Structure 1
Amino acid sequence: MERAGKVLDLFGKRENMIHLFLGGAFVALSVRSMSQQNEIQALEAEKETLSKRNKAMKKAMWDWKQQLFREESENSSFPVPLSKLKSIYGDIISTTQQGVAGETVDSSSAKPKLVI
């Protein structure tokens, strides 16, 4: 009974309740901040790996494109002419391009796709 009186006396004071609330809020914010910091570090590491992969893919695509241009210029019986390759890869900017189903698409309204 004596302990219950002390606990009630401790929690009964307004100042003690404010201190307990502020301490609990500090602990909760600290835990949340630590979890957010861990998440930020994981996202930064993922960003670095994705950036490296993206650069490697861009280089590979550039190399493939250059290889296609080389093969077409060296081999006159290449199935796709150089002008078609350049229009596919955007080296020649035309006002209209043929769509997949044969319809014409205005290149100014066509939006580039982001490949990740």
Structure 2
Amino acid sequence: MELANKAIEFANRAASNNTVVNVFLGGAFAGLTLRSWNQQRQIETLESQRESLVKSNKSMRQTMWDWKQKLYADAEADNKPIVPLEKLKSIYGEAPTVPQSAGTPEKDGKASSTKIMI
């Protein structure tokens, strides 16, 4: 119990001593400064990485565009292309897709007939 009383008395004297308070506040300020400096370095590193990623993405986008145009040109040039141009355009979302159920027989082999109800 005596040890606890001495510790409390020491803490009370330290809290009322301006030097101790100033050292504590200075240490806290130094710690926050160091953390801010580290974060600033990380931000600068991430910004430089972002610039290189943007350049890389633009390059990949251009390459994919060139490939797509080459596919279209090959499909138009061949008499019997591996993948027809209409199929390529539907894959890339440039042509309206035709529903697969239109014009196909039903499961039991009968063609679907249109029913008009008035």
TM-score, scaled relative to structure 2:
0.67
- AA of the residue aligned to 2:77: E
Q: Offset at 1:94?
A: 3.5
1:76 aligns with 2:79: yes
RMSD (CA atoms):
2.1
Matched pairs, number:
88
Residues in 2 aligned to 1:49 and 1:64: alpha-carbon distance in whole angstroms? 23
Q: % of aligned pairs identical?
A: 43
The higher relative CO (CA closer than 8 Å, separation ≥ 6) is in 1
Aligned to 1:14: 17
Larger Rg: 2
Q: 2:91 aligns with which of 88, 92, 109?
A: 88
TM superposition shift of 1:95 = 7.7
Match of 1:55 among 58, 64, 67: 58
TM-score by length of 1: 0.68
1:33 to 25, 36, 41: 36
Counterpart CA distance in 2 for 1:94 and 1:65 is 18
Q: Which has the higher strand share?
A: 1
Extract structure 1 runs of 4+ deviating beyond 4 A: none
Residue number among 41, 45, 50 corresponding to 1:42 in the alignment: 45
Taking the TM superposition and a 5 Å limit, the aligned residue runs for 1:97-116 are: none
Where structure 1 has 5 or more consecutive residues not aligned to the other structure, the ranges are: 1-7, 98-116
Distance of aligned partners of 1:94 and 1:78 in 2 relative to their CA distance in 1, 3 Å threshold: closer
